[in-house]
Chains A and B, each alone.
Chain A
Amino acid sequence: MGMSLIVKKVTQFVIGLIFLYGINIILFGHLGVGGGFAGGVILTCGFILIMLVFGREKAIQKMRTNVAHFLSCIGALAFLAIALLGYIDGTFFFNFIDHGKEFHLHSAGLIPFADIAISIIIVSAIFTIFVLLVFFGRFVGDAEEYENDEEYVGNIDRNL
């Protein structure tokens, strides 16, 4: 399954950097360009790269779709919880914790946490959409080829 050895090896070197870059964009979203959405998309691109290079089975092993589904709900609930935490100081979405020093990582109160929550939703949601397109898009496109392939259908059932 997957692409040639060269591509696999290079991907193994690069993938960690891609993830680090995504996490960097998420954590420093309040100081520069980026944030939860942009960083989340970069993280998802890492997963998609794994899927392209090592085949979809490998990528599914890294993050199963029901885990992704679970995470997207958790991310949304976490974001809502951050909004509701504002009620500690009286107002919805109030940024009540210490704002720290300007231009430092700790400088925007709750915003980095909101970014992390958003990135969880984005990673899991876009990954789920991609996986579903990979599985079901294939299924519709080559319907005759795959319709009777029990192993393939079984794979879908197991993974989703």
Chain B
Amino acid sequence: MQQLYPLFVAIPLGVAFLILLFPKSLTKLVEVIVAIAEIILLIMVIALIGHEPFSYFIGKWIPPIGITLVSDSISTLLLLLINIVGLLSLLYSFKYMEMYTSKIRFYSLFMLMVAGMSGVVITGDIFNLFVFLEIATISSYALVGFGCEHEELEASFKYMILGSVSSTLILLGIAILYATFGTLNMADLANSILANGINRSVLFAEGLFIMGFGLKGAMVPFHAWLPDAHPSAPAPISAMLSGVLIKACGIYAIIRVVYHVIGMTNITHIILMSLGVLSMVVGVLLAVGQWDFKRLLAYHSISQMGYVMVGIGLATPLGILGALFHLMNHAFFKSLLFLCSGAVEYSTGTRNLKEMGGLFKRMPVTSSSCSIASLSISGIPPFNGFWSKLLIIIALVQAEYYAIAAVTVGVSFLTLVSFIKVQRYSIFGDLPEKLKNIKEVPVLMGTVLVIFAVLCLLSGLLYPFFGNTLLEIARDTVIDQQKYIQLVLQVVP
């Protein structure tokens, strides 16, 4: 397994370029190839769960000279999410993407995005992280504008401009760290920062990183691109963007930089907490008034990422555990919600909640999975969202942040309100005259929705079975900076 670690990037990258060589008539074959590639990746991640942490030296260059790949429990968690959501979105898109032309290019960009995100997650070199970040986001710019309609191109352009600004900020931060310490290896950087203390250049770089990665992760002052970009993309891509991209490129990168490279300080703690609270509150307030189904979901992504950020910023073990758990749960229920909105759009041709109603009679599978996802995101027991929100709130109370805990509960209530609205206007109520003849989505799409719904239920209930091997060890990895440094630097191949 250790030897095969670079294949997490190499397989999707190779498939992305290979399938472009096929002519349009072989689209079915291409679908088989990408599905097999994703299944192989998923099997590899599952084999990685519970594996001892290790580092992999590319080209046998010992760090800090060469590029190092690091496998620890947090990267395994993110890889697992990327590949589960990736595989299911891919299966969903086989039917869904028939609305669009040139499916092969879609799969190619999709695999490039998966390659970029996997690269961000497995690398131990900060410049390498930037390169993979660019691969993931540039392919996502193209995917957001995939429909080539007026609105989609505008959203894609806006996303591209803001994304480029954030990339420039990140690159500037990397340049400052490199100028100060002369190394790009994250563990080596952490070592130098530990030895020299946090001086002004490090603080400046950290500010740039929080801004840059915060923009990729759509924290509130930097969120403007997300409500345009996520609704404009095709539904499977919305699920990927909201389900994993903002986590791998935003939250994960912030965790790595803040906890492992620079080290958690009091000021960072305050900044991350305030970013989190702000995202939580502003996101949900903007979401309540939306009538566009996907746009509403996009605002909720901002709000839910606020929860994760509060947990990360809290920096207590329970807070981090809650944040990681919520990150995982959000990947499941938000992907499911976006795929449901896609299914509704596939059948009814509209995203406007006012034009829907009574879909339960015509589309039982979509409607019931949409209900499960809504209950999960609103934090109703026994679905997964409840448990992770509960953990975050308990952690806040334990750390004596009573006001923030109260805000968290209030935001959860507003989330419930806005999803009751969604239920009322889309699933229940009267079926409009012109939607009398709609049909349930094809079997494959329905199966994907059901699998996600089952995941939403099980990831909450089965926590005692997987919590230890997946999440609690990831929490220990996040907290232990020394262990990370040792893992990369002290090991001789």
Binding site for B on A (CB under 8 A): 69-70, 73-74, 76-77, 80, 83-84, 86-87, 90-95
Contacts and interface: CB of A to CB of B under 8 A. Distances in A.
B165 to A, nearest CB: 22
Given A90-B3, A92-B6, A77 B14 contact: yes
Given A91-B58, A93-B58, A94-B60, A70 B6 contact: no
B59 A92 contact: yes
Contacts of A91: 3, 57-60
Contacts of A83: 6, 10
12 contacts: A74-B21, A77-B17, A80-B14, A80-B17, A91-B57, A91-B58, A91-B59, A91-B60, A92-B10, A92-B56, A93-B59, A95-B59
A137 to B, nearest CB: 15
B10 A76 contact: no
Given A80-B14, A92-B10, A92-B56, 20 more contacts: A73-B18, A74-B21, A76-B13, A76-B17, A77-B17, A80-B10, A80-B17, A83-B6, A83-B10, A84-B10, A87-B3, A90-B3, A90-B60, A91-B3, A91-B57, A91-B58, A92-B59, A93-B6, A93-B58, A95-B59
A92 B18 CA distance: 19
Interface of B: 3, 6, 10, 13-14, 17-18, 20-21, 56-60
Nearest to B108: A73
A86 B18 CA distance: 20
B376 to A, nearest CB: 39
Contacts of B3: 87, 90-91
A63 B59 CA distance: 35
A77 B16 CA distance: 10
**Overall SS of chain B's interface:** helix
B13 A73 contact: no
**Overall SS of chain A's interface:** helix
A86 B59 contact: yes
Contacts of B13: 76, 80
A76 B15 CA distance: 11
A40 to B, nearest CB: 17
Q: Top 6 nearest A-B pairs by Cβ distance?
A: A92-B6, A93-B59, A76-B17, A73-B17, A73-B20, A93-B58
B10 A73 contact: no
Contacts of B56: 92
Given A80-B14, A84-B10, A92 B21 contact: no
B37 to A, nearest CB: 13
Nearest to A78: B17
Contacts of A74: 21
A93 B14 CA distance: 15
Contacts of B60: 90-91, 94
A77 B22 CA distance: 14
B61 to A, nearest CB: 9
A69 B13 CA distance: 16
B491 to A, nearest CB: 15
Contacts of B6: 83, 92-93
Contacts of A86: 59
B435 to A, nearest CB: 37
B59 A77 contact: no
Contacts of A80: 10, 13-14, 17
A81 to B, nearest CB: 9
Contacts of A90: 3, 60
A49 B309 CA distance: 52
B34 to A, nearest CB: 15
B109 to A, nearest CB: 13
A84 B7 CA distance: 9
Nearest to A121: B17
Nearest to B6: A92
A94 B14 contact: no
A73 B59 contact: no
Nearest to B14: A80
B10 A77 contact: no
Nearest to A80: B14
B58 A73 contact: no
A74 B57 CA distance: 27
A126 to B, nearest CB: 15
Nearest to A95: B59
B331 to A, nearest CB: 28
B21 A73 contact: yes
Contact of B18 (A77, A87, A94, A95): A77
A69 to B, nearest CB: 7
A94 B59 CA distance: 4
Nearest to B5: A92
B314 to A, nearest CB: 38
Contacts of B18: 73, 77
A96 B58 CA distance: 13
B20 A69 contact: yes
B122 to A, nearest CB: 12
B195 to A, nearest CB: 30
A73 B16 CA distance: 9
A70 B59 contact: no
Contacts of A70: 21
A83 B3 CA distance: 14
